[in-house]
Structure 1
């Protein structure tokens, strides 16, 4: 399956799950601007924020999100800086309510379900994962400078509603650098009638600084 790999062994020993290293790797939740995080179609308001939690708390079955009117969920996730996203873990229940597909969009704030009809930057077919064992590796080149991530779960394995226990984000964070915005006005395709000289519009090139 494209873009999928095991974050660690799915069989037997899980002692290393609790190591500090795993907690550090999946600490990007701390860089989420939770005040402005949006979860569309959540049954309980604010519950979508609860699934972005510590590694140690990832299997907490109280802090979950459930979809409302149908099986779709959409998360708009702003960050406090720029991240390089390397992998995602999605844990759910061992039943039909587990999401079956995940679609990622980079730097498109406030997306809606209608907006999500466009082609995603990356898509994954998901497996049942109740223990947060499976990591889905992202295209690092595509997700190397992300200030906003949208995650769309369009379907599950057959239930009327979708349940998610945990979403883990692995990668790097750096402080955003804010530069002044320079607005340049230029003629994209001049009207020949507006120019005294004979100009072929198709021969013009423009350099945007």
Structure 2
């Protein structure tokens, strides 16, 4: 009997540890550039910002994104740095409104539904998940250096509109991309100056 009691207690501890780990692992919401986050076909403007939130708030059903004209939703998610995306969890709305497929695109800012007709970097079939218990693994090699993630939800489980309550993103973040942008800007400036100098020289020669 004592052995069983110890075993039972051990399992409970393991469960608590797992939940704490998930809260730590699913923290990429804090690395999203919320000012430039956008969702196409959302019924309520800027409701997209409410679905990216801490793990312990995942079951808050008052916060959600619902589609407007049809069941499609498209999220353009810019990060504040480079992300190695390892997994995602998607909690949908009530039965029928839960998306049945998600298509992932890497580093293609400001995608539209027309753009999403192209080949996705990964496509996942989704089950109806109302508690955040299903984790989907990404192709880590493919999503190892992501500064912008697009999630396209083309269809759902039969409802006229789709509803998403929570999107959890798991992975590692680094400041890599921001430095890259600074470098590009810096390199572009001298070439403009060179160009002006050349124009000036040509004008002088003509005179």
TM-score, structure 1 normalization: 0.78
| SS of equivalent to 1:180 | helix
| 5+ residue gaps, structure 2 | 1-11, 192-207
CA distance in 2, matches of 1:180, 1:163: 40
1:177-200, CA deviations, whole angstroms, 9 ceiling, x for partnerless residues?
22533579xxxxxxxxxxxxxxxx
Q: Is the 8 A contact 2:93 2:162 kept in 1?
A: no
1:39-188 to structure 2, matched below 5 A, reads 39-176=39-176, 177-178=179-180, 180-181=183-184
Bigger Rg over Cα: 2
Residues of 1 paired with 2:19 and 2:70: CA distance? 37
TM-score (norm 2): 0.79
Aligned residues: 172
Q: Structure 1 stretch 169-178 or stretch 114-123: which is displaced more?
A: 169-178
- Alignment deviations for residues 54-110 of structure 1 (CA, whole Å, 9 cap, x no partner): 100001001101000000000000000000000010111341110000000000000
CA distance in 1, matches of 2:53, 2:18: 14
- Unaligned runs of 5+ residues in structure 1 are 1-12, 185-209
The offset of 1:19, in angstroms, is 3.6
| Corresponding residue SS for 1:171 | strand
User: Could you give the per-residue CA deviations for residues 158-182 of structure 1, whole angstroms, max 9, x where no partner exists?
Assistant: 1000010110000000012225335
Superposed displacement of residue 48, structure 1: 1.0
Q: Is the 8 A contact 1:94 1:129 kept in 2?
A: no
